[in-house]
Amino acid sequence: MISATLARAGNVLSVSGASGHPGDEVTLTVTLDNDDAVSAVEIVIPLGSGLTLVGNSAQLTDRSNGHVISAAMAGTDLRIYIYSMSLTALNGSSGELCSFRLKMGDLPGTYNLTPSVVLSDAAGQQLASTAQGGQVTLLAPDLALVTTSVDFGRVPIRGTYTKNVQVRNTGNEPCTISEVDFDNSDFSVDQLPITVAAGSTQNVTVTYRPVDRSPGVKSWMTIISNAMSGKKKLYVNAIPFSVNELRVVNASGVANTEVEVSLKVNNMEPLVGMQCTFNLPQQLDYVDGSVATTDRTSGSTAFASLEGRKLTLYLYSASNTAWTGDDGVVLTFRVMLNGTSGSYRLTPANVVLANVDQENMTSATYQGTVSIQAPRFNGPNTLSMGVTPVTEVAEATYTFSNNGQAPLTVQRVVFLADGYEVVESLPMVLARGASATLTVRHTTNVEGPYSTTMNIYTDDPTMRMKAVAVSGETFAPNTISIQGERVSDGYDLTFGLNNWSTDLTAVQMDIHWPAEVAYASISAASRLSGHQVMVIPLGDNNWRVLVYSMNNAIISGSEGDLFTMHFTGGPADYIGTTVTVDGITVSNLRSVNKYSGDDLNYEIPFLLGDVNADGRVTMADVTTLIAHIYGEEVPVFIAKAADTNFDEKYTMADVTRIIAIIYNEL
């Protein structure tokens, strides 16, 4: 029966809500809506650490019917008891039952009041019930550090640097940062106040303006705000140093020349000395004794030491006199540029920039480069002089170019054998990207192949000498010539020999003359004393001529006629035809063919307009041509002489031109 009653009963206890700021007292009420007669109430409400009960603040309402209320804290729980010694029931069935006050703490947030309740009737039996909680909101800002420390690291003095400190407002009202204090006055926050919205994160910018160098600076940063959690502190660190920097000033120049390298120092401290070391690239050679002071260091002494490629430079003052100024070149030295085009690093090492207390005040070093603009010789490895008669000077052109970045100088040319020369005047300077030629000449009185090496000396650092293989060949100029002459009964062909060789003994050639002529005879010139001359017919107007000596007699002289061949026939048979000579052999004592010429072609000359081949241009030629045009038989007709306008036809136009020839009008 009790179970049925519990199931039907409806008893609901509710706790109200409130909000306030830290330290405020807020009043909350307890409401009971009950279907059953309730004689006693026990309520337990967990408050957490942010709320506490105000003593003696619990009060009953008019629903009390001789009841008593008791409220007290048990740890963080609020316990409220309402009871009647006479076990009477509470008045009414709904409405506020009691009230109590809570004092707000300093931890912002929303606190859920979730009560547990026990209701009893007059018999002391527990009644079925439900409880509804409320919320108490504590309104306040609260500040938390997202950034727990700040390190500026190494920074040059006399500069301004900033770092951000990130803070977060974990409260539920805006947080105002009103002040930021530091132990060191070089640190500051320039923009105050700073408001951080509830639940948001914001940066506090710390500015650092170091004045003096130090091995290390540490300062407390104290952030003061309206946050309930109070001041926030964190460390700020920095290492301020004075700027004393060594820089190698970039330099450039043309290969095979000297350039000056400058060492520049910008300094905040008074400096009296310097030392540094360079490992010189192979392309840069220190010029002995070239180290020198400048206007800034005129009261100091500079010297250098060189061990292999390691160059150490020193600058000191015997009287500890500080350099003048705070920026500029303090020392120079020179290097010879012996490399190809490119940039070569000069990296200072073991650098000391000393103050009057001999402390090394170096804060940074910077390398420099030395750029070289070098010429570059580009040319073939061989030069062919060709084939040249021994009586002439062989000449060939050697072409080369400058593919570098600076002018190229060809200083001299040396041949490893006699008889060679270069025509151009040397030295020769060639601009970058340009080409030039060397004209090579070779003189010799010895026939045959020859060779030598041409050494070209330049200022190309990678090719001081270019070796060129020169080759060629000379030959003895022994040539046959042919001349013709009309004679009374035919035509004579005279063959001559111009020869450089002095040991020639025999000649052979084949003669081809496709004309209506007949070979009649051959007669030797005086140069062939002791020689036999033979003509062998080959048929079809072809003949072979042999000149020989049974005892190897030498053909005398070096020029002139050898023999004359006589042919019979009328002019119409041979004028305008061509004699061809081939198969020519000119043999020496060792039976070596020394002929150096080509096959011969000799055209029997004709006189333009001499149609009847009488050796003159007259009206008889006009008559002959007119007769031929009209189809009449003429005794002699020279076709090439008649075609005066070269159109391969015979017309009155040719007649007109012959008349003009007669009157010297053509």
Residues 336-391: tens digit of each pLDDT: 999 899 999 999 999 999 999 999 999 999 999 999 999 999 999 999 999 999 99
* The pair of three-digit structure tokens given for residue 218, joined into one six-digit string: 């540490």
> Same topology for domains 2-138 and 244-373, yes or no?
yes
Q: How far is CA 344 from the centre of its chain?
A: 16
From the number of C-beta atoms within 10 Å of its C-beta (0-12, 13-18, 19+), residue 579 rates as buried
- Give the residues of the chain that fall short of pLDDT 50: 1-9
Q: What is the DSSP string of 331-397?
A: EEEEEEE-S-SEEEEE--EEEEEEETT--B---EEE-EEEEEE---EE--SEEEEEEEETTS-EEEE
Phi and psi dihedrals of 55, rounded to 5?
Answer: -55, 140
What is the pLDDT at residue 4?
Answer: 34
List b or e across 212-237, with b for residues whose CB sees 16 or more CB atoms inside 10 angstroms.
ebeeebebebebbbbbbbeebebebe
DSSP state of 321: P
pTM exceeding the 0.85 threshold for the entire prediction: no
Q: Return all residues near 268 (Cβ < 8 A) that are at least 6 apart.
A: 156, 157, 158, 242, 243, 244, 326
CATH hierarchy code of domain 244-373: 2.60.40.680
CATH topology for the 377-475 domain: Immunoglobulin-like (2.60.40)
Q: Which residue reads 């042999």 in tokens?
A: 546
Q: What three-state secondary structure class fits 529? A: coil
> How confident is the model at residue 610, as a pLDDT?
85
State the Cα–Cα distance between residues 219 and 149, nearest whole angstrom: 10
Domains of the chain by residue range: 2-138, 143-241, 244-373, 377-475, 479-603, 619-662
The candidate with the shortest Cα–Cα distance to 553, out of 505, 605, 491, is 505
Query: Contact, 46 vs 112, CB < 8 A?
Result: no
Burial of 415 (C-beta count, 10 Å sphere; 0-12/13-18/19+)? middle
Residues 6+ apart with CB under 8 A from 88: 39, 65, 66, 67, 122
Distance between CA atoms of residues 424 and 402, nearest Å? 17
Distance in angstroms between the alpha carbons of the first and the last residue of the chain: 162
Query: Taking a C-beta distance cutoff of 8 angstroms, is the pair 232, 168 a contact?
Result: no
Q: For residues 405 and 462, is the Cβ–Cβ distance under 8 A?
A: no
Query: What per-residue confidence (pLDDT) applies to 7?
Result: 35
How far does Cα 414 stand from its chain's mean position? 39
Q: Please give the Cα distance from 597 to 479 (Å, whole number).
A: 5
Q: Which fold has domain 2-138?
A: Immunoglobulin-like (2.60.40)
| Number of helices and strands in the chain (H, E) | 5, 54
Name the CATH topology of 479-603: Immunoglobulin-like (2.60.40)
Give the closest residue to 99 by CA, choosing from 27, 43, 153, 155. 27
How far is residue 491 from each of residues 198, 484, 565, 567, measured CA to CA in Å? 133, 7, 8, 5
Rg (CA), the chain: 63
**φ and ψ of 527, to 5 deg:** -70, -15
Q: What are the residues whose beta carbons fall under 8 Å from the beta carbon of 507, sequence distance 6 or more? A: 480, 497, 545, 546, 547, 555, 562, 584, 585, 586, 587
196: exposed, middle or buried (C-beta count within 10 Å: 0-12, 13-18, 19+)? Answer: buried
Query: In whole angstroms, what is the distance from residue 117 CA to residue 62 CA?
Result: 20
Query: Residue 550 in 3-state DSSP?
Result: coil
Q: Among candidates 448, 456, 460, which has minimal Cα distance to 398?
A: 456
Listed residue (43, 101, 34) closest to 63, CA to CA? 34
Q: Which residues contact 67 (CB under 8 A, 6 or more apart)?
A: 60, 82, 83, 84, 88, 90
Q: What is the pLDDT of residue 3?
A: 33
130: left (phi over 0), alpha (psi -120 to 50) or beta: beta
CA dist., res. 491 & res. 485, Å (int): 6
Distance CA 242, CA 248 (A): 20
User: What is the distance between the alpha carbons of residues 226 and 204, in angstroms, rounded to a whole number?
Assistant: 16
Closest CA to 373 of 258, 260, 254, 251: 254
CA–CA separation, 424 and 412 (whole Å)? 10
Query: What b/e readout covers 333-358, taking b as 16+ CB neighbours within 10 angstroms?
Result: bbbbbbbbbeebebebeebbbbbeee
Q: Can you give the pLDDT at residue 2? A: 31
Instruction: For domain 143-241, give the CATH number.
Output: 2.60.40.10
> Residue 70 and residue 50: Cα distance in Å, rounded?
22
Question: Distances from the Cα of 360 to the Cαs of 20, 183, 274, 316, 616, in angstroms?
Answer: 64, 30, 9, 13, 114
Q: Is 6 helix (H, G, I), strand (E, B) or coil?
A: helix
Task: Give the 3-state secondary structure percentages of the chain, helix then strand then coil, rounded to 5.
Answer: 5, 50, 40
> Tokens 């041979």 belong to which residue?
574
Instruction: Give residue 510's Cα distance to chain centre.
Output: 70
